[in-house]
Structure 1
């Protein structure tokens, strides 16, 4: 199984649970930070996370500043360089006493200031025994600087200061573009905390209610949760009936009925009834804290992959060192040339081996593809994961809010009456449900083409609602209500809807059963097309859901999935991804809820639906702005095109070495052909231009 370390989102999402979550049971006299109205205690780890994101932004600014300053310094270096002046025929015009010492001084500045990030990176790569791009750049600029400095102070040879300056400029520009395109720090912990309310209505011993900060809650406390409010902690209902929306936490699309003895999860949204809850879990034991822990553990199991340019740089470093050594050996030992000539050829080989275009080959493609993706509604957060998307073999979708719309819709209206039409039955039901805030009620109201005036409306907790419409007693009730009243329904269509796991409510008028309304989480019209295209690409399509098997089977059959996993609890989703990866498949996870976050991190590529929770977005490698599963197909196609461009650019940026290095070494010296540093620079410039143009073509080849 191929693991990875998320780039942007792994900037310390593996921080520990916040102080608020670690110790809700004890009042802390600590500072708080306000975040969208929520008081969140800031732990040292959270501060580390925030500082890391700030540090990343500072690094981008640092590369930007170094690039512009180095570029300004490059202008006089070019003007003062003897080879440039000779090439332009202005050698005598711009010469003045001590001009080479001024050139040396300016070049020293650009070497130390502009070259610092690469020299520092070289030290780190050597220390970890993982040479890469930094090693190649450091060797090239150091060789050019030391050799040119010796020439200024008496050694016979040519000066490479202008090549040193332009190489540093290009590499700084490349790294600036690259870092800017992937910049962004994870905020998943903060987003998780935002799901919790800032206060709780605690029932005091004297029977009064007191609003207390969330961190003061402890197991055993009794809290009142009013309709529409977020539940402040994991607990058990000890009084009242309601339905709770847990979709953002568990992936369950249906509002879950709650009564005395039912378990409720902190962060879920209470429906139409007021309930009294005994707090059972706070801090590290809470559901949200466990989700945080799962995300952290999944990320820690990843290993960071090297990018293509780094892998190319390793080989070019070997070529530069060995090519330089061989060149020096051949000219001094075999050809008996003087040291000055051999050294000049050696330095030319080592400088030319580090092509300017290599520093832009990958970053330019990344920048162009990132911009192209953004225009098409994809936000790339992790470049290496985006690169992996080209090799995907399986895509696992969350159901609720991803393949489906995450909200109820009317699928069927069944008429048991001879004197009413289906639309009239729906209208009677909508008239009653217009006064309810329940998601099922909203779906019925939305489906109806109108409603009538209602009198004496009354909610039947956990069972439905009733009222008078046109002087008729109308009830919209659940199957449980019918069972209580001993009313049996043997209709084939009703049984079919129920067997698929969908919801059925019944309409009674003046005590007589007139009809039934079937409701389900609506399948997105784009889902079937997306699955079909993915299967054409040879990619297996699967689904994870917290819903029951009947619902999962129905959705799977409806859109043509290869496989589905139903009744998957939140903490099991990442395990399912691991199981699929254990088959040897490269896996993408597409989701939108808090419960999807660990699975998004575990997958080789995590793709979040942008309209989902911020937690899912922050845990993903790629964010789809639109709620359109077809964009998964587009992102895979773009990843394949992008990788193709990267390979082409690496070939263009390094390919000329096959010709330039032997010529620089002097292979055709006896034939009168010797590649000068100036001609080598022209070849490098041409390679850079080709790389830039090729990257831009990606905009046309969508």
Structure 2
């Protein structure tokens, strides 16, 4: 079976409703058809179940079982008409599916159900019109009812997974308030916005597009998009994501990404790919289902031959054969993997893990080595203050206040790191006059009437300013950038900065180590910086100064050591390595190329989510194995019982009981999948 039962049923339904050409259907229309199909199965089920009541009352075997006699003239013809409605109306999806499977020469569950109900119906028609035996209309009716119910439940569960896309699409508003060049605000359709346009977003409104704040400050609720539960503070120059909610201030935003380039569109595409991508375990499931079909045919024929050869009546032998075919239906087996995948994909999305490749996601449980890119993955990708060394007559906060005051007018990342540190410490910055850049050396300005310089080590050495060279060398050895402060010609201290290690990186690597998973740092940055980060995180293996193509080669080398490797990165330079690894994990939205190369995207850019990912992969696999064993084991154990092995001791399984047991196994498989946490 190349497709799941659900896929086949959906295909058969679409062909019935619209013909076979679906090329013109867009996603929304396809989703609408999907909803129609669920409703169709629901309607067929309720119509069939209502007609089943008089079928049961009129069935001689049921009356015999209840020790009553409600027979009357021509009652068998009424029974025939009612059962024919159930067979042709209720059983139509299965009959159509069986024919399609036969055409594809790819037998599966539809063929099995179709065969079972056809045998029961044809045999019963013969009985009504003169053949000696007991009709099996009540077995036919109950079997169709249970199968319709099973399919309806299955489709509703799959529909639930598909609803994720509609929820994502619904996050974006249809219109935006565009700021015209003359200052007027005009409401325009979202799809008319172009890159560079400006939009105004009021408090409480959804942000319509990805962009950069030009004016205003606020907190933004991104929980639906990133899983970040706490509102994120945003100000001028910060990026915003379309679909998030503006909580407080009014914003003017410049459009950066529209249409398919936007973050939300990428997420929708990822979800769509995740729903369409194939599961390795599903392949096993499909093979098992196909095998069970052949077992059903073989077991059915053997059962019929044995019962006939022992002198039992034709109708008894037929009944045994039908029961075997019903009991062997791989319904639970067909649900075993898809339901677990649906639940795990939903759980992953809640955790901020977007699965693009299910097959590789299932492999994640075997990972024994996680290779981390450094910049932007283990570190924040921006400078932060790590050390402050004031001179003897200066306090730390005084040193920071002087240097941050002059740096506040610089756009350099180092300046931003120093100014942010001052703000974090709630230091007030002083006004700067005569701000100037010293080419290749630093900056200077007048602060509170004094001349302050923030300069490089090269400038200090050139000016023959004495400083603690031993301390400077130890900071430089760690790969840190050191800025010197000079106030009115006198050195007031040094500030060291480095790419800040994420607070969550330590926890992630420590947890992985506890689980026997080795962490390796692989970076294009210089060796000193890489060694300093490795020391902070207690990572033993470090590969630094590695070019993008060499990163992929390093991954191949590690794989050659018979290791299962996950690569975690965020940049364009990580794309080849992400594609080479057994599992590629992109941190955050990262770059488009990194996302395209990855199997899984960690929306929250949190290295701890790598641990969550390995956990979920392991638990998903265990649930799948449990479900496969239950479904297959049930079939294997039930076939002899259905064939009548216990008939000598008076235990005989009817087709309806077989169908009920089969449905129970389906329900257990569904419940077991839902228990995945």
TM-score relative to the length of structure 2: 0.69
Residue of structure 2 in register with 1:583 after alignment: 561
Residue of structure 2 in register with 1:473 after alignment: 451
Q: Deviations over 1:587-627 (max 9, x none)?
A: 22222333334433443333333353455445443333333
Residue of structure 1 in register with 2:150 after alignment: 170
Of the three residues 394, 397, 400, the one matched with 1:423 is 397
Q: Does 1:358 align with 2:336?
A: no
| Contact residue 432 and residue 465 of structure 1 kept, 8 A | yes
| Contact residue 101 and residue 152 of structure 1 kept, 8 A | no
**Residues 14-25 of structure 1 correspond to what in structure 2 (within 5 A)?**
none
How far the C-alpha of 1:353 sits from its partner, in A, is 0.7
Question: What CA distance in whole angstroms lies between the structure 1 residues aligned with 2:621 and 2:594?
Answer: 26
Question: What CA distance in whole angstroms lies between the structure 2 residues aligned with 1:405 and 1:91?
Answer: 81
Residue of structure 2 in register with 1:20 after alignment: none
Q: Does 1:624 align with 2:602?
A: yes
Residue of structure 2 in register with 1:566 after alignment: 544
Q: Does 1:147 align with 2:119?
A: yes
Q: Does 1:158 align with 2:129?
A: no
What SS is found at the alignment partner of 2:280?
coil
Question: What CA distance in whole angstroms lies between the structure 2 residues aligned with 1:179 and 1:493?
Answer: 64
Question: What CA distance in whole angstroms lies between the structure 1 residues aligned with 2:529 and 2:97?
Answer: 55
Question: What CA distance in whole angstroms lies between the structure 1 residues aligned with 2:615 and 2:579?
Answer: 22
How far the C-alpha of 1:636 sits from its partner, in A, is 1.8
Name the CA shift for 1:122/1:695 in 2 (closer, same or farther; >3 Å).
farther
Q: Does 1:323 align with 2:299?
A: yes
Q: Does 1:367 align with 2:342?
A: yes
Q: Deviations over 1:172-192 (max 9, x none)?
A: 64366347638879xxxxxxx
Greater displacement, 98-107 / 440-449: 98-107
Q: Does 1:394 align with 2:369?
A: yes
Name the CA shift for 1:338/1:405 in 2 (closer, same or farther; >3 Å).
same
Greater displacement, 85-94 / 154-163: 85-94
Residue of structure 2 in register with 1:248 after alignment: none
| Contact residue 292 and residue 330 of structure 2 kept, 8 A | no
How far the C-alpha of 1:525 sits from its partner, in A, is 1.9
**Residues 210-609 of structure 1 correspond to what in structure 2 (within 5 A)?**
305-307=280-282, 308-332=284-308, 334-337=309-312, 339-415=314-390, 417-448=391-422, 449-482=427-460, 485=463, 491-609=469-587
What SS is found at the alignment partner of 1:148?
helix
Name the CA shift for 1:508/1:481 in 2 (closer, same or farther; >3 Å).
same
How far the C-alpha of 1:457 sits from its partner, in A, is 0.4
Name the CA shift for 1:631/1:418 in 2 (closer, same or farther; >3 Å).
same
What SS is found at the alignment partner of 2:495?
strand
| Contact residue 464 and residue 477 of structure 1 kept, 8 A | yes
Residue of structure 2 in register with 1:263 after alignment: none
**Residues 64-75 of structure 1 correspond to what in structure 2 (within 5 A)?**
64-75=35-46
Residue of structure 1 in register with 2:161 after alignment: 181
Name the CA shift for 1:158/1:118 in 2 (closer, same or farther; >3 Å).
closer
Question: What CA distance in whole angstroms lies between the structure 2 residues aligned with 1:498 and 1:117?
Answer: 71
Greater displacement, 88-97 / 113-122: 88-97
| Contact residue 95 and residue 114 of structure 2 kept, 8 A | no
More helix by share: 2
Residue of structure 1 in register with 2:48 after alignment: 77
How far the C-alpha of 1:55 sits from its partner, in A, is 6.1
* Structure 1: gaps of 5 or more residues: 1-50, 186-212, 215-227, 230-298
| Contact residue 136 and residue 314 of structure 1 kept, 8 A | yes
How far the C-alpha of 1:443 sits from its partner, in A, is 0.6
Question: What CA distance in whole angstroms lies between the structure 2 residues aligned with 1:600 and 1:551?
Answer: 22
| Contact residue 181 and residue 366 of structure 1 kept, 8 A | no
Q: Deviations over 1:63-96 (max 9, x none)?
A: 4432320221122223334774456979969979
Could you say what the CA RMSD is over the residues aligned between the two structures, in angstroms? 3.8
| Contact residue 66 and residue 114 of structure 1 kept, 8 A | no
Question: What CA distance in whole angstroms lies between the structure 2 residues aligned with 1:118 and 1:434?
Answer: 73
| Contact residue 392 and residue 587 of structure 1 kept, 8 A | yes
Name the CA shift for 1:489/1:93 in 2 (closer, same or farther; >3 Å).
farther
Question: What CA distance in whole angstroms lies between the structure 2 residues aligned with 1:120 and 1:461?
Answer: 76
| Contact residue 591 and residue 607 of structure 1 kept, 8 A | yes
Question: What CA distance in whole angstroms lies between the structure 1 residues aligned with 2:470 and 2:95?
Answer: 77
What SS is found at the alignment partner of 2:409?
coil
What SS is found at the alignment partner of 1:474?
strand
What SS is found at the alignment partner of 1:476?
strand
Question: What CA distance in whole angstroms lies between the structure 1 residues aligned with 2:145 and 2:632?
Answer: 20
TM-score relative to the length of structure 1: 0.67
Name the CA shift for 1:397/1:60 in 2 (closer, same or farther; >3 Å).
farther
**Residues 70-109 of structure 1 correspond to what in structure 2 (within 5 A)?**
70-81=41-52, 84-85=56-57, 100-101=80-81, 103-109=83-89
Question: What CA distance in whole angstroms lies between the structure 1 residues aligned with 2:152 and 2:466?
Answer: 76
| Contact residue 574 and residue 599 of structure 1 kept, 8 A | yes
Name the CA shift for 1:392/1:181 in 2 (closer, same or farther; >3 Å).
farther
Question: What CA distance in whole angstroms lies between the structure 1 residues aligned with 2:82 and 2:56?
Answer: 16
What SS is found at the alignment partner of 1:656?
helix
Question: What CA distance in whole angstroms lies between the structure 1 residues aligned with 2:525 and 2:358?
Answer: 33
How far the C-alpha of 1:640 sits from its partner, in A, is 1.9
| Contact residue 505 and residue 518 of structure 1 kept, 8 A | yes
Question: What CA distance in whole angstroms lies between the structure 1 residues aligned with 2:470 and 2:554?
Answer: 36
Name the CA shift for 1:65/1:114 in 2 (closer, same or farther; >3 Å).
farther
What SS is found at the alignment partner of 1:514?
strand
Q: Does 1:640 align with 2:612?
A: no
Matched residues, number: 530
Question: What CA distance in whole angstroms lies between the structure 2 residues aligned with 1:158 and 1:601?
Answer: 57
| Contact residue 98 and residue 114 of structure 2 kept, 8 A | no
What SS is found at the alignment partner of 2:430?
coil
Residue of structure 2 in register with 1:188 after alignment: none
What SS is found at the alignment partner of 1:538?
coil
Q: Deviations over 1:219-238 (max 9, x none)?
A: xxxxxxxxx99xxxxxxxxx
Name the CA shift for 1:77/1:624 in 2 (closer, same or farther; >3 Å).
same
How far the C-alpha of 1:143 sits from its partner, in A, is 1.0
| Contact residue 174 and residue 359 of structure 1 kept, 8 A | no
Greater displacement, 102-111 / 553-562: 102-111
How far the C-alpha of 1:442 sits from its partner, in A, is 0.8
